[in-house]
Structure 1
Amino acid sequence: MRTVLVTGPGGAGRTTVAAATALAAAASGERTLLVSATAPPGFPSGTEPTEVTDRLDHARVDSGAHFRAELTELQERASGVLDLLGAGRLDGEELTELPGAPQLALLHTLRRAAEGDWSANGGYDVLVVDLPPTAEAIALLALPGQLRRYLRRLLPAERQAARALRPVLAQLAGVPMPAQWLYEAAARKDAELAAVQALIEDGATTLRLVAEPGPAAADALRTARTGLALHGLSADLLVASRVLPRHSGDPWFAALAAQQEKCLGHWHAQWAPGVPVHEAAHLGHDPRTPQELAALKVPAPDARTPGRAADPWWIEEEAPGAEDGPAALAWCLPLPGAAKEELRLVRRGDELLLTVGPFHRVVRLASALRRCTVSGAALADGVLRVRFTPDPGLWPRTD
């Protein structure tokens, strides 16, 4: 299954372009599923896949229902602890979703698609996902890996081997040990997150950016490009939305069109040919029907377009070190659009904590670099180089 993720600045027309992409995929003969938080105009709003056209289904993400179901299930599983504490149960009708619930609900829906929960519908060739605005979308795509890391740190799998000793350990420590259901729940969540992470990192997954030409969008796209590069993601198409007709006789209208044309020229120069720029014409109003969405002529996903590449980090050997000592190593990462003042690096054990503006990533060091100390970092020509000096006490000798 090919997955197309659609994001862009808020108000740029992400849902419109996602729906137009899904319609184009279905028109090309692919069995297609569109997943979005809000139903596009003319689309059904059911939370289960519902037919739109002959080869296109749509499923809406209901974050409120997902939040209530998850919390109700958690209360059932933790009933023994809650009864022991005398805690009152929360009724599903009184639960109001908390911040972060929409993101978790979307991950849950992606997990269902990844694991083939909707195979009864005949299966799908293409999955189109309408993501939140760019900054939130990048954080969302990184979330499965981050949550799995947290689970491994908080409930290491190797501790499950000691479950037979828990009663004894509880008496010695004087505090109750985590119940087996907690480890089982963690393992189940880890498996679900792994399925979503595999979908995001699959070579058949591509990402489309949507932006309305203008100065604000240019800044947003620069930030987006940096955040995508940090997480090893790349766009296969940039859709310029609401493009005005050129050469109008109206001075006010012509000035807006000229501003758009200037911005589009920069985008074609900066992004193409690696990332084609598609200009979706302004219809004079927001699209109201699937036919008007199809009129935007957003291209269908091309199976020949490569999806997510391998992790972009690479290692370079720098100038030789001290006599008979190993050379210094540089760990390199392309970060187009990044600014030095937005960078922050922290080494913690075998991990590197990297912050670039609003984006964060924790990277596990390659085995060779774990035997080194960080001796510097530099950002030049859009590439971050972190310099590592081998630790004589840990680096293997060659004599």
Structure 2
Amino acid sequence: MRTLLITGPGGNGRTTVAAATALAAARSGARVLVLGTDRVDTLGAALGTPVGAEPVEVEQGLTARRVDAGTDFRADLAALQDRAATVLDLLGASRLDPEDLGPLPGAEELSVLRALRDAALSQAYDLLVVDLPPTPQALALLALPEDLRRCLRRLLPPERQAARALRPVLGRLAGVPMPAEWLYGTAARWDTELAAVEAVLADRGTAVRLVAEPGPAGADAVRAAGLGLALRGLRTDALVAGRLLPEDVEDGRLAGLVAQQRKTLDEWRETYDVHPVAHLGRDPRGPDDLAALAVPGMPAAEGAPARVEWPVTGPAHSRLPSSEESSTADDGVLVWHIPLPGARREELDLIRRGDELAVTAGPFRRTVPLPSALRRCTVDGAALREGELRIRFRPDPQLWPRTP
């Protein structure tokens, strides 16, 4: 099972390209599921077939469905109240009727992640195409599993569960209530589910594909998207440049737009595998229009993992150089390389907190655990060179053993 995540600026044809990609892959012989995430049925409008929460066969080999956050939220609320029944009864609290409530903030994102996990683990399809929300929301969505797991580990550390048998005694001694068993159970279940989503994102069969119109606004959006994906360690397999005007356009008023598109395409080709898609002169609707777009179908053959490794380079990690050895400025220094294409020096910020490093790049922020070797070091400086953030660490003599 391979997964293709498609996103781009809003209004740039992201859903149309997702539908066309799924159709092209299905017509090449693959069993394809295309998953829509919009509240309204934009995917069905592009496919020419209404798409809802239940899978619908668009044509042979191509199945489509749309995430239903409302149904998922009501099911989760009912299950949560069942698990917390004892606590609710002790408090004299009334049960909420799930049918009376709409999804709360965050419910849609969790529904998309769950649908992504379930579909990616399915054995019924060869390719899953996910029409993600516009880029800012998509990047927040892709960051959610890692960020939520980190919060859960901080709030309810797994190692504290070892004392679950002592919680009643500890509660009486401390005079405060201890977390109930169901709370730890819920946290463990959420952690397992989020870890499964992270595994899908990091899988070798997962790729991210960007969609944008070439031009100043599209160039800015692609730079931001590439930076956000790089900070999350996610690879981009291709960039679909849509709604291109023909090069031989005779209307002089459009000549400037054509030149603008050409300039942006040349810049994009320096970084991405670009697939130009011509403007049809109308909004694509139905399989015939989607096929006319001639977008690439299946992603490139599985190879490198979706997650990009951030390597640590430097001298051997086994010991701290002694004073008798070479005393050049780089002795003992380890360098952590974080690829951040499109980053600007003034947009970067680093904060170390214990064994974690918070990296801010433009509007994006990620807190990552330091590799084991770097936890025994102090930050010695950082520099942005050739689209790569290089953070220098110097071993702490109090934590690194010396060899005689």
TM-score, scaled to structure 2: 0.91
Distance (Å, rounded) in 1 between the aligned partners of 2:174 and 2:142: 40
CA contact (8 A) 2:321 2:402 kept: no
Q: Which amino acid aligns with 2:85?
A: S
C-alpha separation in 1, matches of 2:186 and 2:88: 17
Distance in 2 (CA, whole Å) between partners of 1:5 and 1:310 is 14
Aligned to 2:20: 20
1:388 maps to 2:385: no
1:1-399 equivalent positions in 2, closer than 5 A = 1-37=1-37, 38=41, 39-41=43-45, 42-116=48-122, 119=123, 123-268=124-269, 270-271=270-271, 275-304=272-301, 306-317=303-314, 323-324=323-324, 327-399=332-404
Q: Retained in 2: the 8 A contact 1:63–1:105?
A: yes
1:393 Cα deviation after fit: 0.7
Query: Cα distance, 1:314 vs. partner?
Result: 1.4
Structure 1: which 5+ runs fail to align?
A: none
CA offsets per residue over residues 182-201 of structure 1, 9 Å max, x none?
12111211111111111110
What is the rounded CA distance, in whole Å, between the counterparts of 2:401 and 2:101 in structure 1?
Answer: 58
Distance 1:396 1:149 in 2: 31
List alignment gaps of at least 5 residues for structure 2: 326-330
Letter in 1 for 2:280: L
- SS of aligned partner of 1:4: strand
Query: Alpha-carbon deviations, 1:321-372, whole Å to 9, x = none?
Result: 7724761111111211111111111111111111111111111111111111
Q: CA deviation at 1:303?
A: 4.7
SS at match of 2:153: helix
Decide whether aligned partners of structure 1 residues 365 and 188 sit closer, same or farther in structure 2, where only a CA change above 3 A counts: same
Q: Report deviation, 1:297.
A: 0.7
One-letter amino acid of the structure 2 residue matched with residue 364 of structure 1 = P
Contact 2:201–2:306 (CA under 8 A) maintained in structure 1: no
Q: Which whole-Å deviations, capped at 9, do the CAs of 1:109-159 have from their partners, x for residues lacking one?
A: 01211343xx5xxx1110001111122212211211221222222222222
CA distance in 1, matches of 2:298, 2:268: 21
Q: Distance in 2 between matches of 1:5 and 1:43?
A: 21
Query: Alpha-carbon deviation of 1:252?
Result: 2.1
TM-score normalized with structure 1 length: 0.92
SS in 1 for 2:380: strand
Write the letter of the residue equivalent to 1:81.
V
Quote the residue 2:328 is aligned against.
none
The answer (yes or no) to whether the contact 1:49–1:59 under 8 Å persists in 2 is: yes
Which sits farther off after the overlay, 216-225 or 297-306? 297-306
Tell me the amino acid that sits aligned with residue 226 of structure 1: L
Question: Once superposed, which parts of structure 1, at least 4 consecutive aligned residues long, lie more than 3 Å away?
Answer: 305-311
Counterpart residue type for residue 344 of structure 2: A
* Cα pair 2:235 2:308 within 8 Å, conserved: no
> Cα gap change, 1:247/1:305 in structure 2, threshold over 3 Å: closer, same or farther?
farther
Does the 8 Å CA contact 2:311/2:337 hold for their aligned counterparts? yes
Q: Is the 8 A contact 1:15 1:130 kept in 2?
A: yes
Aligned CA distance change for structure 1 residues 226 and 296 (closer, same or farther; 3 Å):
same
Task: Output the amino acid matched with 2:161.
Answer: Q
CA separation in 2, counterparts of 1:209 and 1:47? 25
Whole-angstrom CA distance in 2 between matches of 1:108 and 1:207: 18
Distance 1:244 1:72 in 2: 52
CA distance in 1, matches of 2:351, 2:324: 29
Q: Please state whether the residue corresponding to 2:372 is helix, strand or coil.
A: coil
Contact 1:2 1:204 in 2 (8 A): yes
Across the aligned residues of Structure 1 and Structure 2, the Cα RMSD in angstroms comes to: 2.0
For 2:314 and 2:300, the matched residues in 1 are separated by 37
Please state how far the C-alpha of 1:380 moved relative to its aligned partner: 2.0
**Aligned-partner SS, 1:12:** coil
Cα deviation code 1:12-65 (max 9, x no counterpart): 111111111110110111111000123332133221222111101011011222
